Amino acid sequence: MNVVSWITVEETPALAAEAMAVIDARLARLTDAERGAFWASIRKAYNTPYNDPVKPAQPNPVEPAPGAAPTAVEIRLPEIDPSIDLPAAALAAAALTAEMRAA
């Protein structure tokens, strides 16, 4: 499909700068960071392809070496104070999360 345009290639940079100046004037009420975020979202929208991204292939699970002993993971939970009114599952999840971050 042919696209008809009355704008020449040479005119494009000047017209783009003028359009940005008009938009920036409208965005003057925003902070510099908010204006930067606005322009970043515009650049992202115009540079994003229309097609869905290609999903990477799923990795194959690693098989243990023949004859190797299976490894075990030991999880130690802290003692739960019965005076605390939280479900034990929430306490265990919090302890596991902290332990995973520390590892």
Start-to-end C-alpha separation, the chain: 57
pLDDT at 20: 82
Half-sphere exposure of 37 (CA within 13 A, CB side): 5
| DSSP per-residue string spanning 5-65 | -S--TTTHHHHHHHHHHHHHHHGGGS-HHHHHHHHHHHHHHHHS-SSPPPPPPPPPPPPPP
Query: pTM above the 0.75 mark?
Result: no
Q: Distance of alpha carbon 87 from its chain centroid, rounded?
A: 32
Read off the pLDDT of residues 26-82 as tens digits, 9 standing for 90 and up: 888 888 898 888 888 888 887 766 666 677 777 777 777 777 776 777 777 677 666
